[in-house]
Each structure stands twice: as structure tokens, then as C-alpha cells.
Structure 1
Amino acid sequence: MASKSNEALPTQQFVEVSGTKNGVLILKNGSLRQILAVSGLNFDLKSEDEQEAITYAYQSFLNTLDFSIQIFIHSRKINVEGYIDSLAKLVGQETNPLLKTQISEYREFIRSFTTDNAIMSKSYFVVVPFDVVNLPVKGGKSGFLGIFGKTKPRVEGKETAQEATLTKNISQLSQRTESVVAGLNQIGLRAVAINDDEATELFYNLYNPDAIEKKGMELGGAGSK
């Protein structure tokens, strides 16, 4: 019989996030991360002049940074249950027998097709960092999704030195984030900081790659081009 030490460790032990505050990820070592959901663009459909302009703008953006950033693409299965449910409501509301039949058949086609074929969506993200040394942060709720528990407000009315430092660091991270957003805008990309709930969904999807997204929300609302 395998000992408990050989059992699989809980997923949260491998996640370096301790909590969140207004969409900012607070790591276990006190460092901060801001995740931006970024829109996409089809580079191949651009003219040669447009491609050169985009490339130059991207190079200029990278050259203006005095800190590192992380860029990653996340592919996930799309949850179409909401769309299928909306079609079912249309069937119930439609009075024209012919349209009612067509909508019903279309709904069944979508349900059958998505059952046999995974519909994938790509999301683009940029992570803006702010690293600090040994800034311990109290944990939030227990469990995997509990790592995103929001920091409870203090009732004493006066923040501690630790809280003051955290507030200062978040302010500096915000300045970095604004710089990155402005640089991405120059390239023609829209960037939006994801909130606590969207961060929870993102990490859920990352650690459950075979599962359909937890809620089906559009991360950051950045959209695509």
C-alpha cells in the first residue's frame, strides 16, 4: 500500500499565487503580477506597409521597457451551452412553424457537432511583473480556487507598515501596467487588466486543460481583430 507521502499533492501547492487585490496577483513570496487580456490581429492579412509599421511599433514597444514581461497564448474549449440554451428559448418563442423547425434543427446540429468536435478559442495575455523581497501575505480561502480570496479590509482604520508597502508596490505595478497598455495600443492591440474572477477562471483552465472553461466568460473583454 502506498504511503501518504506518495499521494498526489494538492494542486494549490504548485500555484505560486497567495491571493488577489483588485485584480493584482499576490505571489507567495510577496511579488506582484498583473495579467492583461490582449486582443489579436491577423498579421498575414495586413499589407506589407502595415506589417512593417506593426513590426516597428512592436520593436519600439519592447525597447521602451526596463522590466521583463511574459507573453503567452492560451487555447481552450469553448462553452457553447449558453448559446444552445438561447436557441432553445427562440424555439419556444417562435410562432412561425417553418422557422421553429429550422431553429430546432440548427440547435440540434450545433449540439451534435460540438459533442463530436472540440471548438477551441485562443486568448492572448501579457503578464506585467513587480518583484519584491520577502513580503509575506496572509492567505485567503482554503482550497484551489480559494487562492484567489480577496484580502479582507481592516477595521482598525490604520494600515500596517506591511499594508502600506503593498499599496506602494501595487501603485508602482500600476504604472508599469499603464506603460505596457499604452505600448500595445500603439501596435493596434487593446489590452484590459483581468479581474479576480477572470483570474480564477484562467488558472482553473490552465490547470484543467481538458475541461471546458468554468464559466465561459470572455476574459478581459479584449476581443479580437
Structure 2
Amino acid sequence: MAKSKPTNSTQKYLPIKEVRDGILVLKTGGFRTVLMVNAINFNLKSRDEQEAMMQQYQSFLNGLGFPIQIVVQSRMLNLDDYLTQLDVLSRKQTNDLLHTQTVEYTNFVRELIGVANIMSKTFYLVVPYDTGVELPTGGLFAGLFGKKGRPLSLGGKFAEVKTKLMERTSLASSGLAGLGLHNVQLNTQELVELFYTTYNIDTARRQKLFSVSNVDASVIQHLKDSTPGQ
């Protein structure tokens, strides 16, 4: 009996070798941290405030001795869970007026997202550190879509790189905070989830990612059907 040909996973085509301690380890020998940055409404600022922010932003960029990457991720806003909660709430309402108002509001939201493409935007700042030395195969990230990979053996090199990269990350984070842009560094779990949801948009809505410490062939937890009686 002929063996079925194994299918190629998305992971094979990604430049990431491993995710360790909140750091992306690239196949090219590069290392990256990712800051998730809250946005502010620039148009609501006065002209003086806008000019002050632009000057501060220019000073922030000029103060960096390394390149950065700014990524904006746009996604269709998924309100399925929210609408389900509203449906449950409306059924539990004992007050007729509140029940009617909840149902009308739920229908309004459903109609709104049906006629308008409501998008959510998330902003990321990527901080790099490159060594130029290509790394061996394996790593935790290799198990995200398939078999679990062996951890990379980077020895003391990783600790040295991590220290330097964290210095850059701290500098970028404090610079953003000085602009009034709250930011947080993504940890290992959050980085894996970011890439999982990015490359599996539809699947990620139905399937939940386990903790990355348990990444293996069963990394995806199929959500149980919530239909009553099952």
C-alpha cells in the first residue's frame, strides 16, 4: 500500500526558525522583538499638538541607531462572540422593555456589520538584531503546524544577543511612550498566536491555539460545539 505524500505546512515557507523568550529567531540568523502599540487619533489633536508630536517623532527616529519596521494589520472585525452573548442576555431578560431593547440592539449590530466592512487595525513595531549567520534547522516554532521540532542549540550566543536586543527594545519602547503611545512587548505565546491568526485567519476563528509549551501535532484545540444537548 503506497504511503500518502505528506502535505507541506505553512511553517515551511516562513522565515522564522524559533520563538524563544519573546524573541523571533529567524532562519537567516536574525533576531526580532515585537512591540504592540496603541494608536492615538492624530486628527483630533490641535495644530500645535500635531506639530509637537511630529517633532517628537522625528527626534525619536533620529535617536535610534538601528532600523525598525512598522507593521499595520487590518482585520475584519469579528463580533460573533459578542452577538452570541447578546442573544443569551436577551433570553435571560425578565423585563419586557429591556428584552425588547436588547433584541433591537442585537439586530441593529447584525445589520450594521452586514452592510459595512468594519475593520480593526493593530499596530506593531519590530525591533531587529542581525548576526548574519544562518541557523540550523529545528526549533519550537517548527512544531506550530506540524511535528514538534528540536530546540535550537545556540549556547551562550542567545543570551548575548538577547541582552543587546532587549536594550534596543527598551530604547524603542521608552521612545514610543514619550510620544504618548502605550506599548507592550509580545511574549512567546502572543507571538505564536499572532502568526497563527495571521496565516490562518478563518481557522483561527474556529480553533484555539494551545500553550506553546505543548506544541506538537495536536497543537490545535478544536472548540467543542456549544449547541445545547450535546
The answer to whether TM tops 0.5 is: yes
Matches within 5 A, 1:58-207: 58-134=57-133, 136=135, 138-140=138-140, 142=142, 145=145, 162-207=154-199
1:55 aligned partner: 54
1:98 is aligned with what amino acid? L
Structure 2 residue 33 is the aligned partner of structure 1 residue 34: yes
Structure 2 residue 11 is the aligned partner of structure 1 residue 19: no
Equivalents in 1 of 2:134, 2:157: separation in Å?
9
Equivalents in 1 of 2:40, 2:164: separation in Å?
29
For 1:132-183, what per-residue CA distance to the aligned partner results, in whole angstroms no more than 9, with x for missing partners?
1325253226565469x79869xxxxxx7x2211121112111100000011
Q: Name the CA shift for 1:193/1:103 in 2 (closer, same or farther; >3 Å).
A: same
State whether residues 34 and 128 of structure 1, in contact with CA within 8 Å, keep that contact through their aligned partners in structure 2. yes
Equivalents in 1 of 2:183, 2:42: separation in Å?
17
Equivalents in 2 of 1:182, 1:92: separation in Å?
48
Q: Name the CA shift for 1:185/1:141 in 2 (closer, same or farther; >3 Å).
A: closer
1:189 is aligned with what amino acid? L
State whether residues 76 and 213 of structure 1, in contact with CA within 8 Å, keep that contact through their aligned partners in structure 2. no
For 1:33-77, what per-residue CA distance to the aligned partner results, in whole angstroms no more than 9, with x for missing partners?
111111111212111211111011111111111110001211111
Q: Name the CA shift for 1:44/1:146 in 2 (closer, same or farther; >3 Å).
A: farther
Q: 3-state SS of the aligned residue for 2:195?
A: helix
State whether residues 17 and 141 of structure 2, in contact with CA within 8 Å, keep that contact through their aligned partners in structure 1. no
Q: 3-state SS of the aligned residue for 1:168?
A: helix
Q: 3-state SS of the aligned residue for 1:52?
A: helix
State whether residues 25 and 32 of structure 2, in contact with CA within 8 Å, keep that contact through their aligned partners in structure 1. yes
Equivalents in 1 of 2:46, 2:173: separation in Å?
24
Q: 3-state SS of the aligned residue for 2:140?
A: coil
Identity of aligned residues (%): 37
2:105 is aligned with what amino acid? Y
2:222 aligned partner: none
For 1:90-133, what per-residue CA distance to the aligned partner results, in whole angstroms no more than 9, with x for missing partners?
21332101211221232233234334443210111110001013
- Segment drifting more, 132-141 vs 78-87: 132-141
**Alpha carbon RMSD of aligned pairs, Å?**
3.1
2:99 is aligned with what amino acid? K
**TM-score, with structure 1 as normaliser:** 0.76
1:3 aligned partner: none
2:140 is aligned with what amino acid? G
State whether residues 16 and 141 of structure 2, in contact with CA within 8 Å, keep that contact through their aligned partners in structure 1. no
State whether residues 22 and 196 of structure 1, in contact with CA within 8 Å, keep that contact through their aligned partners in structure 2. yes
1:140 is aligned with what amino acid? L
